[in-house]
Structure 1
Amino acid sequence: MAEHSSMTMQTSGLAAGKDLRDAWRRHGVVLTLLWLGLFLGYRDTALGMQAIWERSETFAHAYLVLPISCWLVWRQRAALAFIRPTGWWPALLGLGAGGLLWLLGELGAFNALTQYAFVIMLVSAVLAALGPAVGWAIAFPLAFLFFAVPAGEVAMPQLMTWTADFTVAALRLSGLPVYREGLNFVIPSGNWSVVEACSGVRYLIASVMVGTLFAYLNYRSLRRRLLFVLVALLLPVLANWVRAYLIVMLGHLSGNELATGADHLIYGWVFFGVVMFAMFMIGARWSEPELPALPQAARAAAALAGSASRIWWVAALSAALIAAAPLWLRAQERGLPVVHLQTPTADGPAWETHKLDASEWSPTDPGADGRLHLRYSREQRDVGLYMAFYASQRAEHKLISSVNTLVRSEDPQWTLEQRQLVPLRAAASDLQALRADVAPRLQGHGRGNAESMVLLQLYWVNGAWTAEARRAQWWLVRDRLLGRSDLGATVVVYARSAEGQRDVTQQQLNAFLVQHLPALERSLGRAVEGRP
């Protein structure tokens, strides 16, 4: 009798094991198909992420994110062996929300939003195909996938400013006289500039990713994990400030023989490596022992077995949600029109127009579909006008983009000092313009005899004006959702200004812009061939 009971239990166990393996095969096939559909339907987004990894050293570490996530899942194989996968319909909400965010990002040409939405859909597909118990067991590997999104450079201007503030303050505390102008400063031994490579954003992004992984692997309490991630966030910022100060001092004390060329970057990475090594060595002293392979919460969830039929209707709805956004966007696609910008000629006092050659200062708008750059002159006054027109917002051709700048950080002649919103007097009562003050790069121990420039910038979106980039971007998304065109342009007027005369120059530019605003509207409104 006992032998018969033992054989019955063994047979039951074998049957349960076979049933569990069959469930994993079935749900694994569904997950594979859903991920394949995501990578095919959203391939431009995936390839766009990979292209940024390849061309930007800041995000080269992202190549490791997916392999690390897979390895972290493999570490959980003992826990996963006890869990029965099940189709989970609430994850459809994540797929739907991800698809909507992706669509909004595409309509507004906001790459970071489309890429985050893509990862949200990848994670949601896992939850839909495998269920909450599996999702809980591999929660961190799934969350780690978000480090693949190449985002974070938006913090670069602020990081550069903080680095310059700390470096100048530390140099003055060291007894060195410093003349500062924006992100440029002069000490007795030479000129220095805080450029993009000095912002520390590379150190910051790499430190947060590696620090988060370290905290997950070495700590068990949420408090310790969050504390270590906070240290990994703050330490590289502080270390970069010290690094910048030490490099300037090293160059100064060596007569500019050291830390002024390629070794500048080498010293920076060596210093960062030493700081990170010290952070991990200290953090390892408070490591906590590993928890059991299968937490109690996962054991309880493992008992919830879904029916085999549920996965198929969850898979069908998931596939429909994955396909919806790309299909809708494709149905809205239009052919690119021919762009022709006419010279704006205003009523009132006449201005002579002159075309400018490539050697003149110009904003950076690499994706514009059409450009017009002119110089207006009257009564010994010169005003520059620059227009960049976008007939359609696409990945590499969009009105609002981090690559569209008034002055490149590495520009050898000019540097951007400050930007502020100013009222556009005599125009619409609530219309403002973005004023930017641009100064020449420091030469010797001062700026020399070169004049600075004052710029006024506006964005035009389907006949509406604004000085705020985010508002212009929202208008573009709104118009596409309403079935309208997504025409957009940036308009910049500028003039040279003597020292102490910038406000007077702004008033002159204000008058010029107000006078030419109707002519600018006509030129932009007729820029697309075939429009009346």
Structure 2
Amino acid sequence: MSTTSPDALSPSSPGLSPSWRQSLPLLIAIIGWILFCYRDTALAMVEIWARSDTYMHAFLVPPITCWLIWRQREEVLAEQTRASILLALPVAGTSFLWLLGELTAVNALTQFMLVGTLVFAILALLGTAVSKRIAFPLAFLFFAVPFGDFLLPQLMEWTASFTVFALRASGIPVYQEGLQFVIPSGNWSVIEACSGVRYIIASITVGTLFAYLNYVSWRRRVAFIAASLIVPVAANWLRAYLIVMLGHLSGNKLAAGVDHLIYGWVFFGIVIVIMFMIGARWAESPAAVAAGEFAMTASNRHPVGRIQAWLAAFGIALLAAAGPFAFFAIDRADQASSPQLASLPPPSGWSATTSFASWKPAYANPSAETLTAFEREGSRVGVYIGYYRHQDYQSKLVTSTNTFAVSTDPVWSVTARRQSATRFDGLPASVRTAELLGRDTTPETRLIVWQWYWINGQLTSSDLAAKLYTALSRLRGNGDDSAVVMLYAPKDIADEALPAFARDAAAAIAKQLASTRDSR
């Protein structure tokens, strides 16, 4: 039997040990300081929770995290806190990554780094022994980050493909173009609400919590979390198919309007309840805790490092504040007037002409934009340039909402996407290509579009590369001048017209963009 000191804490002893009496005020102060420094990021998270049904569950994540820690309070408080200056160093990394996210207006990155900063601050102030006890609650905090919109295009394509496959397997003829398809009883399209992303995010959040509370072995936990990811994807495919079938068999009297979303949630709820009922059959009871396991004995009791705790807290405060202060300095130094983007002059051999299509890309709030058309020997090519400067969360070049055409557009829709290799000076190695269908003419208009980015002189068709080029440009003090360039032509002549125009006009486009940048 071991002896304990008067200050030792056991499950039945009242009060806090000296290490906790010192660490708790520092921890509360540091959490408050971090939330103050990153208040705009925190408020942006809350705003997304409030306006989006997909992420409204995130309001419950912080309270659940606190509850998970509270239910382990005896085990946690029985551990000695041991602050570490070395464990505070990762805060430098999260602060720098937050800076990159803020410079390029990437919500997900700044918000993940805010949570990461909080987690590493807790780890540094409380030490590894305490942090191991609350590892899952701390990790669960990351579910508060609104993340997953980038999955929308792929999930929508999968849903449309499965629905069409299932309809054909049911003997119903289907004509499909992209995310839209026609069956004998009417027209259907897969939009963002049909992607199933909200089902997946809700399922993986609740499923992870369920696995932690009901299983002990990592194998069962991982298996159930995997099921929480796979089941809602498959359930959403089946839901979409059943809704179309319900509409088809009822003559579009059922599931043709907002009620199909209600049916979808009911179906999803039934599937998830069944999944949890099955999962509960394999629930494991936590191993019984031996009496006195959490008591602090003389052999594991160490002196409280008061100076070390204060140094760690001071280091965390400085490192956490470095990112916001650096952004303030960079943003304040980057002062320039609104850009004046001149219309593109006709390339050699081409002449200006009137627009031949009503299409315009769905890019929000550019600082300046031009839409022109050119003709040569019956070949017509359109050029769209959207120029961005002083980008922020309301006006930025690269975002999931900037696209060729939104899914709810009544006239224009995207029927195909791909990457196309190019070998022209003034263009990146590959460009994004899309085929568009317009229903405002007879016969319908079909366009082929080439799209790439210009980032302060750098060319790319990659969203990630565009963000990195923007961040590097701002870090170097060169601003964030960026543009999206799109060439488009009727489908029947696009294979010849687009390459010919690109060869003749690429240099002029690059010169025009550089001139706009240099006139800052």
- Could you say whether these structures have the same fold, taking a TM-score greater than 0.5 normalized by the shorter chain as the test? yes
| Range that drifts further, 247-256 or 44-53 | 44-53
Correspondence for 1:388: 386
Deviations 1:162-195 (A, max 9, x none): 1112111111111111111111111111111111
**Structure 1 counterpart of 2:34, one-letter code:** L
Q: 1:522 aligns with which of 511, 516, 519?
A: 511
Cα root mean square deviation, aligned: 2.6
Q: Is contact 2:19–2:81 with CA below 8 Å preserved after alignment?
A: yes
- Structure 1 pair 297–399 and aligned structure 2 pair: CA distance change class (3 A): farther
Q: What is the CA distance between 1:336 and its match in structure 2? A: 4.4
The alignment status of 1:71 with 2:67, answered yes or no, reads yes
The alignment status of 1:237 with 2:241, answered yes or no, reads no
Distance in 1, Cα, partners of 2:40 & 2:337: 22
Q: 1:480 aligns with which of 464, 474, 477?
A: 474
SS of residue matched to 2:478: coil
Matches within 5 A, 1:163-312: 163-292=159-288, 303-312=301-310
**Structure 1 counterpart of 2:75, one-letter code:** A
Correspondence for 2:444: 450
SS of residue matched to 1:527: helix
The alignment status of 1:471 with 2:433, answered yes or no, reads no
Correspondence for 1:412: 410
Correspondence for 2:35: 39
- Structure 1 pair 393–299 and aligned structure 2 pair: CA distance change class (3 A): farther
Q: 2:104 aligns with which of 100, 108, 116?
A: 108
Deviations 1:266-287 (A, max 9, x none): 0000000001111111111111
The alignment status of 1:158 with 2:154, answered yes or no, reads yes
For structure 2, the 5+ residue unaligned runs are none
The alignment status of 1:13 with 2:6, answered yes or no, reads yes
Q: 1:61 aligns with which of 28, 39, 57?
A: 57
Q: What is the CA distance between 1:54 and its match in structure 2? A: 1.9
SS of residue matched to 2:449: strand
Q: What is the CA distance between 1:94 and its match in structure 2? A: 2.2
**Structure 1 counterpart of 2:240, one-letter code:** A
**Structure 1 counterpart of 2:260, one-letter code:** H
- Structure 1 pair 449–353 and aligned structure 2 pair: CA distance change class (3 A): closer
Q: What is the CA distance between 1:347 and its match in structure 2? A: 4.3
Q: What is the CA distance between 1:123 and its match in structure 2? A: 0.4
The alignment status of 1:510 with 2:503, answered yes or no, reads no
Correspondence for 1:496: 490
| Range that drifts further, 507-516 or 63-72 | 507-516
Correspondence for 1:90: 86
- Structure 1 pair 299–403 and aligned structure 2 pair: CA distance change class (3 A): farther
Distance in 2, Cα, partners of 1:256 & 1:29: 62
Matches within 5 A, 1:126-165: 126-165=122-161
Distance in 1, Cα, partners of 2:287 & 2:8: 30
Q: Is contact 2:350–2:375 with CA below 8 Å preserved after alignment?
A: no
Q: Is contact 1:346–1:515 with CA below 8 Å preserved after alignment?
A: no
SS of residue matched to 2:25: helix
Q: Is contact 1:424–1:514 with CA below 8 Å preserved after alignment?
A: no
Correspondence for 1:432: 430
| Range that drifts further, 207-216 or 102-111 | 102-111
Q: What is the CA distance between 1:429 and its match in structure 2? A: 8.5
The alignment status of 1:338 with 2:338, answered yes or no, reads yes
Correspondence for 1:5: none
Q: What is the CA distance between 1:243 and its match in structure 2? A: 0.6
Distance in 1, Cα, partners of 2:295 & 2:319: 28
Distance in 2, Cα, partners of 1:440 & 1:299: 73
Q: Is contact 1:338–1:528 with CA below 8 Å preserved after alignment?
A: no
| Range that drifts further, 268-277 or 13-22 | 13-22
- Structure 1 pair 429–402 and aligned structure 2 pair: CA distance change class (3 A): closer
**Structure 2 counterpart of 1:78, one-letter code:** E
Q: Is contact 1:352–1:376 with CA below 8 Å preserved after alignment?
A: yes
Distance in 1, Cα, partners of 2:309 & 2:219: 37
Q: Is contact 1:20–1:84 with CA below 8 Å preserved after alignment?
A: no
Q: Is contact 1:76–1:293 with CA below 8 Å preserved after alignment?
A: no
Distance in 2, Cα, partners of 1:366 & 1:430: 24
Q: What is the CA distance between 1:362 and its match in structure 2? A: 1.2
| Range that drifts further, 133-142 or 97-106 | 97-106
TM-score (norm 1): 0.90
| Range that drifts further, 379-388 or 412-421 | 379-388
Distance in 2, Cα, partners of 1:304 & 1:224: 37
Deviations 1:374-397 (A, max 9, x none): 233454443222111111332332
Q: Is contact 1:87–1:306 with CA below 8 Å preserved after alignment?
A: no
Deviations 1:385-431 (A, max 9, x none): 21111113323322211111111111111211222232444435863
Q: Is contact 1:344–1:516 with CA below 8 Å preserved after alignment?
A: no
Q: What is the CA distance between 1:106 and its match in structure 2? A: 2.0
Distance in 2, Cα, partners of 1:305 & 1:226: 39
**Structure 1 counterpart of 2:6, one-letter code:** G
- Structure 1 pair 293–491 and aligned structure 2 pair: CA distance change class (3 A): farther
**Structure 2 counterpart of 1:134, one-letter code:** V
Distance in 2, Cα, partners of 1:45 & 1:298: 40
Q: What is the CA distance between 1:213 and its match in structure 2? A: 0.4
Distance in 1, Cα, partners of 2:372 & 2:125: 58
TM-score (norm 2): 0.92
**Structure 2 counterpart of 1:527, one-letter code:** T
Distance in 2, Cα, partners of 1:134 & 1:46: 26
Distance in 2, Cα, partners of 1:351 & 1:81: 78
SS of residue matched to 1:259: coil
Distance in 2, Cα, partners of 1:413 & 1:363: 12
For structure 1, the 5+ residue unaligned runs are 1-8
